[in-house]
């Protein structure tokens, strides 16, 4: 299917690996000129042909600088994909184990970073009558399926997308949210990531934990979701093909969430 994106421009955050890298590749394949923000741009990101910008979006000044560079490089922004997030490692304790500093760090990266980037990019998006896609998590709907600060921040992000869609929809900007379940990324597969920490906390070898994760979370496809599958959904929502879709939260979790 032709997504009618050739010649469009996009800014993608959290773009160096996993879902973000897959989104950059998908957009570039559709002929989109992309500026990709990442804390540590790697060779794989550079190889996509996107313009990689090193930026730390936990720094409040980073959002404005990234958007300024994107507008300068691209001449405007048609699409914003807010994928920046993470910081969910080391948070397997309960509420009494979590400090204010841990809460602040996770909420800042998974929520406020997106608020700042969106606010900085909104004038360009309004001018282009563009599209915003925020990458949240099924943890926003099933908050016990992850560290409390992380899922709380993602719930705020999902609510932000709906509120923003209502505000800017009449001005021609569409806003949608994508909420993945477990995706085959370093969060789950890295020996130092959240998945490995969770496996250790329940006394199960990491490999066995990953093998049983789809069944344990009720995924009907029998495997983790692939980053490219999430990127395909993001690309569709960012495209004119989805012109009638806004203010929606699109779950891509292999069927693990059983409610509407």
Q: pLDDT digit string (tens) for 96-149?
A: 999 999 999 999 999 999 999 999 999 999 999 999 999 999 999 998 878 899
The owner of tokens 């994107």 is: 70
pLDDT at 179: 98
Tell me the domain boundaries of the chain. 9-183+226-252
**Does residue 246 come out as left (phi exceeding 0), alpha (psi in the -120 to 50 range) or beta?**
beta
Provide the token pair at 29.
């394949």
* Right CATH for 9-183+226-252 from 3.50.30.30, 3.40.50.970, 3.40.50.720, 3.30.2010.30: 3.40.50.720
3-class DSSP state for residue 109? helix
What is the crossing angle of helices 113-128 and 60-74, to 10°? Answer: 30
| Percent of the chain whose pLDDT exceeds 70 | 99
Tokens of 154: 């993602």
Q: Tell me the angle at which helices 206-216 and 194-201 cross, rounded to the nearest 10 degrees.
A: 90
Write the pLDDT tens digit of every residue in 199-214: 998 899 999 999 999 9
Does pLDDT of 82 surpass 80? yes
Using H for helix, E for strand and C for coil, what is the string for 169-204?
A: HHHCCEEEEEEECCECCHHHHCCCCHHHHHHHHCCC
Burial label for 241, CB within 10 Å (0-12, 13-18, 19+), is middle
Question: Nearest 5 degrees, angle CA 129-CA 131-CA 134?
Answer: 150
Annotated catalytic residue 194: no
Burial of 186 (0-12, 13-18, 19+ CB in 10 A): middle
Catalytic option among 150, 160, 188, 236: 150
């Amino acid at each position: 299917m032709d997504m009618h994106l050739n010649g469009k421009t996009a800014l993608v955050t959290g773009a160096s690996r996993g879902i973000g890298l897959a989104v950059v590749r998908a957009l570039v394949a559709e002929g989109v000129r992309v500026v990709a923000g990442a804390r540590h741009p790697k060779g794989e990101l550079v190889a996509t042909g996107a313009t990689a910008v090193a930026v730390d979006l936990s720094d409040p000044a980073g959002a404005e600088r990234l958007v300024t560079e994107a507008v300068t490089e691209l001449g405007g922004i048609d699409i914003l994909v807010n994928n920046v997030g993470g910081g969910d490692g080391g948070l397997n304790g309960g509420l009494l184990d979590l400090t204010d500093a841990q809460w602040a760090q996770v909420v800042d990266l998974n929520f406020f970073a997106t608020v700042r980037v969106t606010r900085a990019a909104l004038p360009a998006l309004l001018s282009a009558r563009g599209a915003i896609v925020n990458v949240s998590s099924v943890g926003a709907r099933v908050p016990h399926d992850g560290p409390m600060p992380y899922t709380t921040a993602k719930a705020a992000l999902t609510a932000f997308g709906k509120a923003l869609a209502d505000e800017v929809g009449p001005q021609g900007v569409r806003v949608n949210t994508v909420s993945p379940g477990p995706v085959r990324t370093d969060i789950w597969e890295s020996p130092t990531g959240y998945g490995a920490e969770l496996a250790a906390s329940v006394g199960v070898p990491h490999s066995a934990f990953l093998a049983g994760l789809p069944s344990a979370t009720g995924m009907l496809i029998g495997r983790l979701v692939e980053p490219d599958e999430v990127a395909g959904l993001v690309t569709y929502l960012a495209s004119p093909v989805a012109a009638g879709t806004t203010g929606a939260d699109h779950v891509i979790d292999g069927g693990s969430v059983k409610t509407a």
